[in-house]
Amino acid sequence: MLKIYNSLTREKQDFVPINPGNVRMYVCGMTVYDYCHLGHARVLVVFDMVQRWLKASGLKVTYVRNITDIDDKIIKRAVENNETIGALTDRFIGFMNEDATALGVEKPSFEPRATEYVPQMLSLIGQLEENGLAYKATDGDVNYSVRKFPGYGKLSGKSLDDLRAGERVEVGVDSAKQDPLDFVLWKHAKEGEPFWTSPWGNGRPGWHIECSAMSSELLGKHFDIHGGGQDLQFPHHENEIAQSEGAHCCTFVNYWMHNGFVRVDDEKMSKSLGNFFTIREVLKKYDAEVVRFFILRAHYRSPLNYSDVHLDDARQALTRLYTALKAVPPSDPAALPDWDEAHGQRFRLALDDDFNTPEAMAVLFDLAGEVNRARDLALANQLKALAGVLGLLDRDPAGFLQAGSGGADELAPEAIEAMIAARAAAKKGRDFAEADRIRAELTAAGVVLEDSAQGTTWRRA
């Protein structure tokens, strides 16, 4: 049975869908005013992997990943560019979709834009006001009264007293609020900014209310999984709980999932440190499948440390898998995994353990080693099928080995060793034509083989 680490309970729990056989999942998406960065890449790839595994487990998945297309940063950037907000957001939504496609990310079931759900946001704010949890402040904003919601802090583990003590750092002091911890639901219109009409005057929605409205409209008041980056756990997801449960008077989400931070050379990624990379910048240097592989080799809850060394290592490791498939081409590229086979059983156990992709990857490498040694077609089919569950190894091996590994002159040591093993297996099976072909390929890549009674060694020409 699948177990998921629930950020709310801080433990792994058996995953039991609310409606048997059906999973409803919401993930906080991008604020579209700039190119997507590596942190966005991790969210895209991680939750794509999650929904793929849920489907592979026989579940029907309704996956919603929203788009924030109205926000202070968006307004500021549009003004700087002297363009409309619609033109700005449409352009960067297009770039985001291009990045996602390159990374092998499947389209979600729904990709709602915040501006399309303002009526639902107004309805939700009205319900909060009726329930005594929202009030109009003296500056015209409508705020949420945090202290009137008994469960506030249950996701982040933060107490109201601790938050109050650190309010100048955590939240900031605003004299128009009844309590400094209160957060905005509806922002009153400022001159020159876009606005919508509402019972509280012209204005626009606050960030937190957007996700509460879109998720409840598309998935219902109570659904299975809510995901996002670790940085969203507080205050965004905490505030979503307060809004949704405060308005609907029922449990909002059963399982909360948060992926870990991305670090660059063991430092937090930030523009101020000059170590901030967009997906597009990385893809100029590395194959998109290598980047996807790099992200999935780490457990989703662990920090992900980006560096050229780690990406080069990921490229070499992925090359090793493709080399096995080139040596023994799968007979059925569309074959489904054999879950009764030993590797299939281990792979399933790994992903059922809170989506343990590092262990699942280990199974793929064990399988690749057996393909190279035994030249077994069934195992090659299984390797491709299992990797396909993670969105990997879906290309022609020869094409990847030429392009994805960085070219023949950069053939990785792991790939060379795998090819030598495949050549030895071919010779043992008296397939001398195949053995000669592998030697010729290595020679073309600048690798010299030296055979002896002790085995085969290699060196670069």
CA atoms of 74 and 193, how far apart (whole Å): 11
- Quickly list H helices, 131-274: 160-165, 167-170, 207-219, 238-248
Sequence-distant (6+) residues with CB within 8 A of 98 are none
Q: Which of 120-129, 192-201, 247-256, 394-403 has the lowest mean pLDDT?
A: 394-403
Q: What per-residue confidence (pLDDT) applies to 318?
A: 95
Mean pLDDT confidence for 269-278: 78
Q: Do 249 and 347 have their domain in common?
A: no
pLDDT band of 424, cuts 50, 70, 90: confident
Mean pLDDT confidence for 148-156: 95
- Per-residue pLDDT of 358-411, as tens digits, reads 999 999 999 999 998 999 999 999 999 999 999 999 999 988 987 754 433 456
Query: Among positive and negative, which fits the CA dihedral 5, 7, 13, 18?
Result: negative
Q: Do 225 and 339 have their domain in common?
A: no
Residue 233 lies in a domain: yes
DSSP 206: -
Sequence-distant (6+) residues with CB within 8 A of 110 are 62, 63, 64, 65, 218
CA atoms of 84 and 108, how far apart (whole Å): 27
Q: Do 248 and 343 have their domain in common?
A: no
**Helices 342-352 & 377-389 angle (0-180, nearest 10):** 10
Q: What per-residue confidence (pLDDT) applies to 24?
A: 98
Q: What is the CATH number of the domain that holds 428?
A: 1.20.120.640
Q: Do 214 and 344 have their domain in common?
A: no
DSSP 99: H
Amino acid at 356: N
Q: What is the CATH number of the domain that holds 248?
A: 3.40.50.620
Q: Do 242 and 312 have their domain in common?
A: no
Q: Which of 139-148, 167-176, 190-199, 232-241 has the lowest mean pLDDT?
A: 167-176
pLDDT band of 451, cuts 50, 70, 90: confident
Residue 101 lies in a domain: yes
Residue 286 lies in a domain: no
Mean pLDDT confidence for 172-190: 86
Domain span at 355:
308-443
Per-residue pLDDT at 454 exceeds 50: yes
In terms of pLDDT, which residue wins out, 411 or 94?
A: 94
Q: What per-residue confidence (pLDDT) applies to 171?
A: 47
CA atoms of 15 and 372, how far apart (whole Å): 37
User: How far from chain centre, in Å, is Cα 387?
Assistant: 17
* Cα separation of the two ends of the chain: 52
Mean pLDDT confidence for 19-26: 98
Per-residue pLDDT at 272 exceeds 70: no
Can you tell me which residue has the tokens 């307004």?
A: 75
- Final residue in a domain of this structure, among 226, 259, 292: 259
Residue 72 lies in a domain: yes
Mean pLDDT confidence for 28-51: 97
**Extended strands (E) in 189-343:** 203-205, 223-229, 253-259, 262-264, 267-268, 304-306
Q: What per-residue confidence (pLDDT) applies to 439?
A: 79
CA atoms of 66 and 47, how far apart (whole Å): 13
CB 320 within 8 Å of CB 414? yes
CA atoms of 404 and 289, how far apart (whole Å): 8
Residue 180 lies in a domain: yes
- Quickly list H helices, 6-152: 38-56, 72-81, 85-102, 118-130
CB 320 within 8 Å of CB 368? yes
Q: Do 253 and 331 have their domain in common?
A: no
Mean per-residue pLDDT over the chain, rounded:
91
Q: Do 197 and 51 have their domain in common?
A: yes
- Quickly list H helices, 166-276: 167-170, 207-219, 238-248
- pTM given for the model: 0.86
Residue 243 lies in a domain: yes
CA atoms of 54 and 315, how far apart (whole Å): 27
Mean pLDDT confidence for 52-70: 98
Domain count, the chain: 2
Mean pLDDT confidence for 36-64: 97
301 CB-contact burial (10 Å; exposed 0-12 / middle 13-18 / buried 19+): middle
Q: Do 35 and 177 have their domain in common?
A: yes
Other residues' Cβ atoms within 10 Å of the Cβ of residue 364:
24
Q: Do 139 and 34 have their domain in common?
A: yes
In terms of pLDDT, which residue wins out, 87 or 460?
A: 87
pLDDT band of 352, cuts 50, 70, 90: very high
Residue 250 lies in a domain: yes
Q: Do 232 and 133 have their domain in common?
A: yes
Q: What per-residue confidence (pLDDT) applies to 337?
A: 97
Q: Do 48 and 162 have their domain in common?
A: yes
Beta bridge partners of 459: 448
Backbone angles phi, psi at 304, to 5 degrees: -115, 115
Q: Do 153 and 226 have their domain in common?
A: yes
CB 143 within 8 Å of CB 184? yes
Residue 323 lies in a domain: yes
Per-residue pLDDT at 323 exceeds 80: yes
Per-residue pLDDT at 169 exceeds 50: no
Q: What per-residue confidence (pLDDT) applies to 170?
A: 44
Mean pLDDT confidence for 270-286: 85
pLDDT band of 334, cuts 50, 70, 90: confident
Q: What per-residue confidence (pLDDT) applies to 408?
A: 35
- Per-residue pLDDT of 188-211, as tens digits, reads 999 989 999 999 999 999 999 999
Share of the chain above pLDDT 70, in %: 94
- Final residue in a domain of this structure, among 243, 259, 275: 259
- Final residue in a domain of this structure, among 229, 259, 289: 259
